[in-house]
Amino acid sequence: MKLSEEKHYINTIFYKVEQTAKYCKYLGNQVFQKLNMPLTLDEFSTLDTIKIYGEICQRDLAKLILKDRPSTGRILNTLEERGYITRFVDTKNNRLVRKMSLTAEGEEILTKATKVLRKYVDNLPEFMTQDDIKQLENSIQKFKQSLEKEVEMNI
Amino acid sequence: MKLSEEKHYINTIFYKVEQTAKYCKYLGNQVFQKLNMPLTLDEFSTLDTIKIYGEICQRDLAKLILKDRPSTGRILNTLEERGYITRFVDTKNNRLVRKMSLTAEGEEILTKATKVLRKYVDNLPEFMTQDDIKQLENSIQKFKQSLEKEVEMNI
DNA sequence: ATAATATTGTTGTAAATGCAACAAATTAAT
DNA sequence: ATTAATTTGTTGCATTTACAACAATATTAT
């Protein structure tokens, strides 16, 4: 890469990652709308993450779903209001924390949404080969770990 | 990758790209604050993009800086108020469009900001090898092109 | 010729995000 | 023992973002 190109933001890897992430986010939201999903993408990924990790505190969940603590609390409020999760107080390292777990309705809607989504994804035209995806995952993992040393995530 | 892992959002490549992009964005803003930059990251990348592409219309600029048209217009308003750009009406495909160009002050602040930033980047500890970066760029390029076929960017 | 469609930019508004401040409780420091 | 610092979650607010609607103009369709 020539120096003259290198020095412009638009040619940096930072720009390319952010651009690709925007595509991911827009595509995800568009698909959720097109499929008339009963959940938003954020709600889906939150339920899905709770499903994997079981009972974790809100802050740990926030780190996983890539939101800050206020946003996470608000998402959980709406999921709780709609009866998809229940919240309760527990302790972690001798500290009071709020944890949550999926209700039967939460499990049900998550399963339903997952099925609809899977059907859509399976019918997409050829996307990338498994090798290409693996390669991208390795590269981006390395990059992310480099960033982690420098960035302060205040969550 | 096992099917049981594959089906959770947090294990998808979409999640990993979005996570890495957040790191990029936070790190960028943190560095700009730490260095007491005279511009925000958004303002810098806007000026930098105008510098490369010269006189382009707002919509084309919007696509480049990854903002929608209203956001782009507002960023340009503040840059114009501060005297870093001038705006004028021109035509593109027989249509009236607003284009912009850097003023002397705009050139100056961009050069100054670029220098400060370059000095910081050059003094960072070893980040990734050029080969690793090249590999990541290739992988993410392929991924982005796949997404482009599916996503509708309403800019 | 008239109507429908498309492009560009602006305005307005609802939603999401970022962030500082706070409360409550625990741990560490002096 | 008292103070200081830390962790977790909430509240409030300013900023940013997303998106629909509009105005102005040009192109296309009928």
Nucleotides in chain D near protein beta carbons (<7 Å) = 7-13, 16-20, 25-27
Instruction: Determine the length of chain B.
Output: 155
C-alpha–C-alpha distance, residues A113 and A110, integer Å? 5
Determine the average pLDDT of the residues in A50-54. 94
**What is the reported pLDDT for B155?**
84
Helix (H) or strand (E) run with residue B72 in it:
helix B69-81
- The string of pLDDT tens digits covering residues A6-48 is 579 999 999 999 999 999 999 999 999 889 899 999 999 999 9
3-class secondary-structure state, position B82: coil
**What is the reported pLDDT for A7?**
76
Determine the average pLDDT of the residues in A89-109. 95
pTM (2 d.p.): 0.92
CB–CB contact B140 A137 (8 Å): no
pLDDT at B48 over 70: yes
**What is the reported pLDDT for A1?**
43
Total structural domains within chain A: 1
A60 occurs within a structural domain: yes
A109 occurs within a structural domain: yes
Q: Which residue type sits at A57? A: C
Q: Token pair of B35, please?
A: 């260095």
**What is the reported pLDDT for A2?**
43
| CATH number of the structural domain spanning residue B93 | 1.10.10.10
Could you tell me which residue, B100 or B4, shows the higher pLDDT? B100
Domain extent, residue A106, equals 39-121
Which of B 58-87 have CB under 7 A of nucleic chain D?
67-71, 74
**What is the reported pLDDT for B6?**
54
B103 occurs within a structural domain: yes
B8 occurs within a structural domain: no
**What is the reported pLDDT for A154?**
78
Residues with Cβ within 8 Å of residue B120, at least 6 apart in sequence: B31, B35
CB-nearest to A10 from B14, B48, B124 is: B48
pLDDT at A64 over 90: yes
B1 occurs within a structural domain: no
A23 occurs within a structural domain: no
**What is the reported pLDDT for A6?**
54
B117 occurs within a structural domain: yes
pLDDT at A5 over 60: no
B76 occurs within a structural domain: yes
Contact B37, B44 (CB under 8 A): yes
